[in-house]
Structure 1
Amino acid sequence: MHGLGDLHNSFTTLGTQLSLPETAVLSIQAPNSLPIPEEAYHWGDDVIFDNSTGGLDSDAGFVKTRALLTEIVDSTLVGRCGWRTRGIFFFGYAQGGMAALDFVLSRPGVEFGGVVSVGAGAPAKVEVEGEGERGKSSTPVLVCAAEKGSVVSEAEEKRLEELFGDVKVVRWKGRKEDGMMQTREELLPIMEFYGRRLGSVAGVPEGALELIAGRTS
């Protein structure tokens, strides 16, 4: 799921480049357009400015995005196509990663294949009740962040551990700000995560699917 102000195009390409075995890639565009001349989209319910940075706040509510993903997952992938939720994966960058984590947390009792969030933690106003050990989400999560200057602080890392039963935060060495992976070394933990989850159910699950943001294509 793409970042705030981005489009789906590059994530469609990324899904192809990952070349995950027996895996389809669905590219979805964020549901809300930004009020600017250029074509740009976001996952939040509102456009909120962050006074501390002067930019837009990624944590802007995800009710509309939840509804969109619910329609895609429940009605189409599970209802029509017969996919198992255990075979559905989410990949998100920045606000897209936060929206993916929000959606998974909004589905108590449902285990998805996993979430990879690059440069984003969970929304501030979210909690899990009555799922898994001590109310934690059972969906595994991998968060990739810069070694320094990341929005994924140590406090956020601890919070993720309180929300998810299986979560790992990888700090990319030498990176001073969050961004997409740039080297083979940065990509490796992501591929290992997929390899572990895709390979843990009798090889590669027949219903494995990765969700990556962008307009449906």
Structure 2
Amino acid sequence: MQAINVQTPPAQSNKATPPKASKTKLSFDYTPSQDGIDHNLLVLLHGLGDSKGPFTNLGKQLKLPQTATLSVQAPEPVPYMDGCFQWFPSFDMLTGDLLTPANPERLKGLLRTREMMDGLINHLIKDCGFNPSNIFFFGFSQGGTVALDTVLFGKVRNLGGVVSISGYLLEEQRVDRKLGDGYAGYILVTQGEKDGTVGSKFEAEKRFKAIERQCGSTAETLQIFITNKDHTMPSSEREWRLIHTFFGKNMSRRNIELENMSDVYLVK
């Protein structure tokens, strides 16, 4: 007969180890969870021409339970615009026009950023103690592109999920997925019906399908169109409710009361 080994379960630490600037090439602001339990991590990625500061404040305003936040700044300054940053080259240096998918510098820049994001995620997991499935992303526009690229093509394949606001994969990186190798987490994309940057609803749906092609059969993906909205951050009660519902449904929670009960034992 096999012996039963009864033990008191080991105490879990409520605090994660804060990330160190020396461990990554990306600039960031880290904020511990407001309730003192750093179980999840929300990585916030700003849009083209912005910086990490406003998204640091957004992370605090979201007040997600048991969730620390990390607002990351894009690595490249926007030429001739002080305090503005981009995740990959976006403008023609001679004309000032936005680069098109035909320009190889966009994808080259995104691949450089992917490598830096991989290094940051590795640090967050190995040195700070975050479980990959508890790391989620919130990105706007170009930041949404980077968030999706990180979970779909990055080295860590079991990250928690993404909320992308009007952000999709670059058109030039639409590739077919190998069977059985897709992302298995959670993705929510919100899209303004009047978004002139992305284009028509048909174009937005086509770009969302490119995301779904990189996902496995167990992934949960959703695209929601917001009435009377252009290419902007969320401002309506409906859109913010969708975002909070997504995180509330898919982020795990520790049961602190159960953990603190003196008569709970681990049976092996």
Given the two structures, how large is their TM-score scaled by the length of structure 1?
0.80
Contact 1:112 1:139 in 2 (8 A): yes
Question: Contact 1:111/1:138 (CA < 8 Å) preserved in 2?
Answer: yes
Does structure 2 conserve the Cα–Cα contact (< 8 Å) formed by 1:109 and 1:131?
no
Alignment of 1:134-213 (within 5 A): 135-149=181-195, 151=198, 153-164=204-215, 165-175=219-229, 177-199=230-252
1:121/1:47 Cα in 2 relative to 1: closer, same or farther (>3 Å)? closer
Q: Aligned equivalents of 1:103 and 1:126: distance in 2?
A: 15
Structure 2: stretches of 5+ with no match in the other structure = 1-44, 257-268
Matches of 2:100 and 2:161 in 1, distance apart? 25
Q: Which runs of 5+ in 1 are unaligned?
A: 205-217
Kept after mapping to 1: 8 A contact 2:174/2:210:
no
The code of the aligned residue for 1:149 comes to D
Q: Does 1:28 align with 2:72?
A: yes
Between 177-186 and 150-159, report the one with greater CA deviation. 150-159
SS in 1 for 2:71: strand
| TM-score normalized by the length of structure 2 | 0.66
Q: Percent identity?
A: 31
Distance 2:148 2:69 in 1: 18
87, 104, 114: which one aligns with 2:134 = 87
Moved runs in structure 1, 4+ residues, more than 3 A? 53-59, 126-132, 201-204
Note if contact 1:128-1:136 (Cα within 8 Å) is conserved in structure 2.
no
Larger radius of gyration: 2
Task: Judge conservation of contact 1:7–1:29 (CA < 8 Å) in 2.
Answer: yes
Select the residue among 39, 42, 67 that pairs with 2:83: 39
Q: The residue matched to 1:163 in structure 2 has which SS?
A: coil
User: Which residue identity lines up with residue 190 of structure 1 in the other structure?
Assistant: I
> What is the CA deviation profile of residues 172-210 of structure 1, one whole-angstrom value per residue up to 9, with x for unaligned ones?
1222x12111022110111111011114x6669xxxxxx
Partner of 1:119: 166
The RMSD of aligned alpha carbons is 2.5
Which gives a bigger RCO, structure 1 or 2 (Cα 8 Å, sep 6+)?
1
- For this pair of structures, how many residues does the alignment match? 195
Structure 2 counterpart of 1:181, which letter?
A: P
